[in-house]
Amino acid sequence: MKIATIRLKEYYNQASTTEQTIIAYVLDHPEEASKLTIYQLADLTFSSPSSITRLCKKNGFTGYKEFSKSLLYEQAVRKNYKKKKIPDVTKTDNVKEVVEKVTNKNILSLEETANLLDYDVIEACVELIHNCEKIVLFGIGASLIVAKDAQLKFTRINKMVYVAEDWHTQLLMARNMTPNDIGIVISYSGETQEMIKCAKTAKENHAKLISITKYASATITELSDYNLFVAANEYAFRSGAMSSRISQLNLVDILYTAYVNIQYEKSIEILEQNQIKKETNLHD
């Protein structure tokens, strides 16, 4: 799905004055804008239908009809989140209730994350991964677990991937990145200061950045070239990443599988070569 509001936000700084007026109106009134005709939107933004059409095409849409449909669908997804609220775990819950709530929360997170995915962005990220010299992963806490999972997967198919346990070493790696490298920054909030520092350093070296964050505007998403979002639906008591970690791992699986698919035969050959077979003792 093409997320209209995200595309407009990312395009805003390079937009003309007229386009910025249109974008500002859509971002401030997304639900209302999704129901307007192109002529109504033109009147409200003191622009013209041709200006709106050009803006839509510059942001990857075939025209206003596709843009409006995407905006309408996005608002429906947002409303759907509110309807699917799952109660928090309470101290009175028994094991059965805990199992059901946690499991349903994880399933919901995966479903909502799938609704947030922009297939064009995924394709662009996979293309970056395919053409880059090396991948540098950034993440701390629970996000580091996701980063290490990504490292293991891509290493299996002989793609150079680097990740460090502590963020100081991650910062050093960011300082040594080149325009031929890509960084993948994993941060649920998108506001982790250590990750912002690493992202800024990587950008100073003209490396491309992919972010994996919750669905919201954040410093890390603004620094990144491509943004992948997970649904923001953690439990209120969130003592540690739960459903967000599941969704982040799922995104890694998607990137990895899509990468394997574009060079399927070669990847299968490498995977077979790198398979570590376990010896079994027939007498055990």
* Other Cβ atoms closer than 10 A to 199: 26
Q: Indicate where the chain has its CATH 3.40.50.10490 domain(s).
A: 115-272
Q: Indicate where the chain has its CATH 1.10.10.10 domain(s).
A: 4-81
pLDDT of residue 108: 76
Give the tens place of pLDDT for each residue, 51-107: 999 999 999 899 999 999 988 887 876 666 556 666 677 778 888 888 877 777 777
% of the chain surpassing 90 pLDDT: 55
Give the mean pLDDT of the chain.
86
CA distance 199 to 187: 11
For 198-209, what is the mean pLDDT? 97
CA-derived radius of gyration, the chain = 21
Give the tens place of pLDDT for each residue, 220-272: 999 999 999 887 665 544 444 577 788 899 999 999 999 998 887 777 777 77
- Taking alpha carbons only, the member of 231, 189, 245 closest to residue 85 is 231
The yes or no reply on domain 4-81 and CATH 1.10.10.10 is yes
CA distance 175 to 183: 11
For 184-204, what is the mean pLDDT? 95
* Other Cβ atoms closer than 10 A to 9: 16
Domain 115-272 falls in which CATH fold?
A: Rossmann fold (3.40.50)
Of residues 84 and 133, more confidently modeled: 133
